[in-house]
């Protein structure tokens, strides 16, 4: 029994000493992260872009757009647009476009241009004649 009381602690001491943690352990050194061209490297360019977006000119333009949009969407404008964009009106506009496409051939445009060029001096002469008549009456 004496052996147990005296020798047992002696046998356990080396294990207890090895199991005891150090009171102030030194931290293991950690390598600094390497720059890999990530978001932090692009941050100055991103901030420059944000500065451009928030410039006074941009804010003034946005104010104009929003004010104009508010004007368009207020009052009778939506009702008028609804009438303008009705199915009947769209069909009529499509007919006008189809007819215009048929009329605006190069030959028709050339003939019309020639007619206008030839009629211009005649209109100027009629204008002078009417001016003379009106001045003689008054």
Domain assignment of residue 64, yes or no: no
User: Which residue's structure tokens are 């872009």?
Assistant: 49
pLDDT tens profile 64-98: 999 888 887 777 877 888 888 888 988 999 999 98
Domain assignment of residue 76, yes or no: no
Domain assignment of residue 134, yes or no: yes
pLDDT value at position 7?
Answer: 56
| Domain count along the chain | 1
Average of per-residue pLDDT values in the chain: 79
Domain assignment of residue 137, yes or no: yes
How far, CA to CA in Å, does 39 sit from each of 46, 50, 51, 65, 115? 9, 15, 18, 33, 67
Q: Provide the 3-class DSSP secondary structure of residue 111.
A: helix
Domain assignment of residue 60, yes or no: no
Domain assignment of residue 103, yes or no: yes
Domain assignment of residue 100, yes or no: yes
pLDDT tens profile 19-51: 556 667 677 777 666 656 667 778 888 888 888
Q: What is the pTM of this model?
A: 0.29
Domain assignment of residue 19, yes or no: no
Report the pLDDT averaged over residues 105-114: 89
Residue-number span of the structural domain to which 87 is assigned: 83-138
Q: How would residue 115 be classed by pLDDT, with cut points 50, 70 and 90?
A: very high
């Amino acid at each position: 029994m004496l052996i147990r009381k005296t020798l047992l602690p002696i046998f356990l001491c080396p294990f207890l000493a090895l199991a005891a943690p150090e009171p102030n352990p030194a931290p293991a050194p950690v390598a600094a992260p390497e720059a890999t061209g990530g978001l932090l490297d692009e941050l100055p360019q991103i901030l420059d872009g944000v500065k451009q977006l928030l410039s006074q000119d941009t804010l003034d333009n946005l104010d104009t757009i929003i004010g104009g949009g508010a004007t368009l969407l207020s009052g009778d404008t939506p009702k008028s647009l609804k009438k303008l964009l009705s199915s009947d009106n769209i069909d009529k506009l499509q007919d006008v476009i189809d007819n215009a496409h048929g009329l605006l051939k190069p030959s028709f445009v050339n003939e019309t241009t020639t007619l206008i060029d030839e009629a211009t001096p005649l209109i100027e002469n009629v204008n002078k004649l009417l001016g003379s008549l009106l001045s003689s009456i008054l």
